[in-house]
């Protein structure tokens, strides 16, 4: 080798060693931070956007009751239970809802203050929510951009236009100004909480449901631009819900499930033809119908729930989802799936699972130490009942009140508080639609004001198994479940068992 070539090789080697020595290192602080990774996992098999099996490490966000994704899937607003001292309750405390925002990309957690029912505008600039004073607040960049007096708590953003009800008027709020869009017939004004009203995902249509104490229900579909309403001819329906996209409406009864498109065309099937009674919407508006496993004693597991496609019964797509409860939902872009899992008899924690995972990848929940630890904590508790819904106590067992009221979003899952056999399912005065479960040692638990039963008389259920959906049937002050427990026919406090 010539002397010139030798010097050149030596110079190149020195540069390489210098580059290695000067490579930047993550600081100790950075190494302790784990943010959600939305990049696809490297895989030899194709990814499946309905396979949500990669649990993400996020900050501890406890006792979440409702979740709302921003339109760009970059943030999650949620209501969380905050326990505060009280001189007016028999327990010496009450549960108040606090509003929290988690920013997925940065990992930042922002506390907003007291509030519930969060909803994002289409641009993500505005966040609307309710406070205990009965007013709707519009939050913008750390300030209150507006307050709205509305006659129903159910609102809908279309872009940055907020649609809401005020007596017989459908109104829209935009850029700080409210104006009337349409009026409805004076005989059909939704009177909350006797009635409820929901706008479709694009706010172009709406439903009004009127509940009567004799068990009958009137349902109407309306056009937002005109206020014109027509009767929904579904006398046996117990539950309706808009798709997260467009104007597709789900109509459930005790034995049938149907979807209606904007033209009124309906596709239906008996519930017995599905592998389970729980439904869920995908991000793009397809309907999943199947079974959700009990949270106890198995802890967290993955369920396989088929997409219902009435046009192609031979080739159903399958979603693989964790058995979370509460307000289970996909992010608008379909890349995340959220809900809550149990960390104790009453305590829960928000979970965030990444979707689009190839077969054979993702967390193994059976070997997960966190899941085993939670399960051991629940099994080792001195009391037996688990809280039947991801919701806050709005009224305790005191005075003439015969149970515990747990406020939760309409349509969210109610589970059995303990193992047992379903011994009642149907309508009763005041309590509305109920499901009751007979447990060991003469104890029976009942769940009132439900919108849809997921079980039938004689079914054996496990602790934490879905049995009904939260509703507003009977005499209610809003969507909640009245949780009542008797021992040998005598009312007892569920919180002490």
Give the whole-angstrom CA distance, residue 11 versus residue 134.
75
Within 10 A of 245 (CB to CB), how many other CB atoms are there?
A: 16
Closest of 358, 349, 366, 374 to residue 302, by C-alpha: 366
* Mean pLDDT calculated for residue range 466-491: 96
The domain spans of the chain are: 54-379, 392-496
Does 365 have pLDDT greater than 70? Answer: yes
Give the whole-angstrom CA distance, residue 229 versus residue 250.
18
* pLDDT confidence bin for 295, thresholds 50/70/90: confident
What local confidence, expressed as pLDDT, does residue 41 receive?
47
Of 100-109, 293-302, 384-393, minimum mean pLDDT range: 293-302
* pLDDT confidence bin for 314, thresholds 50/70/90: low
The answer to whether 130 and 141 are in contact (CB under 8 A) is no
Q: Which two tokens stand for residue 91?
A: 């327990």
DSSP-H helix ranges across 350-487? 369-379
pLDDT tens per residue across span 23-75: 333 333 333 334 555 554 454 568 899 999 999 999 999 999 999 999 999 99
pLDDT tens per residue across span 113-160: 999 999 999 999 999 999 999 999 999 999 999 999 999 999 999 999
The answer to whether 120 and 329 are in contact (CB under 8 A) is no
State the pTM of this model: 0.89
Give the whole-angstrom CA distance, residue 182 versus residue 24.
62
Q: Name the DSSP letter for residue 51.
A: B
Give the whole-angstrom CA distance, residue 397 versus residue 495.
9
What local confidence, expressed as pLDDT, does residue 36 receive?
57
* pLDDT confidence bin for 7, thresholds 50/70/90: very low
Q: Name the region of 285 (left: φ>0; alpha: ψ -120 to 50; beta: rest).
A: left
The H or E element spanning position 290 is strand 287-290
Angle at the Cα of 268 from the Cα atoms of 267 and 270, rounded to 5 degrees: 165
pLDDT tens per residue across span 392-415: 999 999 989 999 999 999 999 999
Does 485 have pLDDT greater than 70? Answer: yes
* Mean pLDDT calculated for residue range 188-199: 96
The answer to whether 335 and 354 are in contact (CB under 8 A) is yes
DSSP-H helix ranges across 22-114? 28-31
Closest of 20, 121, 144 to residue 69, by C-alpha: 121
* Mean pLDDT calculated for residue range 418-429: 96
The answer to whether 220 and 185 are in contact (CB under 8 A) is no
Q: DSSP letters along 108-127, please?
A: -EEEEEE-EEEEE-TTSS-E
Closest of 338, 342, 322 to residue 330, by C-alpha: 338
What local confidence, expressed as pLDDT, does residue 486 receive?
97
The H or E element spanning position 11 is helix 3-21
* pLDDT confidence bin for 18, thresholds 50/70/90: very low
Angle at the Cα of 419 from the Cα atoms of 413 and 422, rounded to 5 degrees: 70
* Mean pLDDT calculated for residue range 370-377: 80
Strand partners, 352: 338
Size of the chain, expressed as the number of residues it contains = 497
What local confidence, expressed as pLDDT, does residue 11 receive?
39
Give the whole-angstrom CA distance, residue 219 versus residue 288.
24
* Fold of the domain built from segment(s) 392-496: Glucose Permease (Domain IIA) (2.70.70)
Q: Which two tokens stand for residue 307?
A: 């997409």
Closest of 133, 144, 99 to residue 118, by C-alpha: 99
Give the whole-angstrom CA distance, residue 41 versus residue 206.
40
Residue that wins the pLDDT comparison between 47 and 109 = 109
Domain made up of 54-379: CATH architecture = 7 Propeller (2.130)
The answer to whether 392 and 420 are in contact (CB under 8 A) is no
Q: Which two tokens stand for residue 368?
A: 């997960």
Angle at the Cα of 238 from the Cα atoms of 482 and 202, rounded to 5 degrees: 105
What local confidence, expressed as pLDDT, does residue 379 receive?
83
């Amino acid at each position: 080798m010539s002397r010139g070539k030798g010097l050149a090789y030596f110079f190149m080697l020195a540069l390489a060693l210098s580059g290695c020595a000067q490579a930047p290192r993550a600081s100790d602080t950075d190494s302790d931070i784990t943010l959600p990774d939305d990049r696809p996992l490297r895989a030899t098999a194709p990814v499946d956007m309905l396979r949500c099996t990669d649990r993400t490490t996020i900050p501890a966000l406890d006792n979440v009751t409702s979740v709302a994704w921003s339109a760009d899937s970059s943030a999650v607003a949620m209501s969380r239970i905050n326990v505060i001292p009280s001189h007016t309750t028999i327990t010496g405390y009450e549960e108040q809802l606090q509003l929290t925002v988690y920013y997925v990309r940065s990992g930042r957690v922002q506390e907003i203050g007291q509030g519930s029912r969060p909803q994002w505008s289409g641009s993500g600039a505005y966040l609307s929510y309710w406070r205990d004073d009965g007013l709707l607040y519009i939050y913008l960049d750390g300030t209150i951009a507006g307050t709205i007096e509305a006659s129903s708590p159910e609102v809908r953003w279309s872009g940055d236009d907020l649609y809401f009800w005020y007596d017989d008027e459908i109104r829209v709020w935009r850029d700080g100004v409210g104006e009337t869009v349409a009026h409805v017939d004076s005989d059909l004004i939704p009177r909350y909480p006797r009635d409820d009203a929901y706008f479709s995902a694009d706010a172009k249509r709406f439903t009004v449901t009127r509940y009567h104490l004799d068990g009958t229900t009137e349902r109407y579909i309306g056009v937002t631009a005109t206020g014109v309403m027509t009767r929904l001819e579904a006398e046996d329906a117990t539950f309706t819900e808009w798709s997260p996209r467009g104007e597709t409406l789900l109509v459930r009864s005790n034995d049938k499930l149907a979807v209606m498109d904007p033209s009124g065309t309906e596709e239906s099937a008996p519930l017995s033809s599905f592998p389970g009674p729980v439904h869920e919407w995908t991000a793009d508006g397809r309907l999943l119908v199947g079974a959700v496993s009990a949270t106890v004693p198995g802890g967290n597991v993955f369920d396989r729930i088929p997409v219902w496609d009435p046009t192609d019964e031979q080739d159903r797509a399958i979603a693989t989802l964790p058995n979370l409860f509460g307000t289970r939902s996909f992010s608008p872009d379909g890349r995340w799936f959220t809900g809550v899992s149990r960390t104790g008899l009453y305590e829960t924690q928000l979970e965030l699972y990444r979707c689009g995972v190839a077969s054979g990848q993702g967390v193994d929940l059976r070997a997960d130490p966190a899941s085993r630890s939670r399960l051991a904590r629940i099994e080792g508790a001195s009391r037996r009942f688990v809280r039947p819904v991801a919701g806050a106590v709005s009224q305790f067992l005191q005075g003439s009140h015969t149970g515990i009221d747990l406020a939760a979003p309409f349509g969210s899952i109610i589970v059995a508080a303990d193992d047992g056999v379903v011994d009642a399912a149907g309508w009763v005065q005041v309590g509305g639609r109920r499901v009751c479960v007979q447990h060991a040692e003469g104890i029976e638990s009942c769940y009132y004001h439900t919108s849809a039963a997921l079980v039938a008389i004689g079914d054996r259920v496990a602790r934490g198994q879905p049995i009904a959906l939260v509703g507003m049937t009977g005499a209610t002050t809003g969507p909640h479940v009245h949780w009542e427990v008797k021992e040998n026919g005598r009312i007892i406090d569920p919180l002490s068992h």
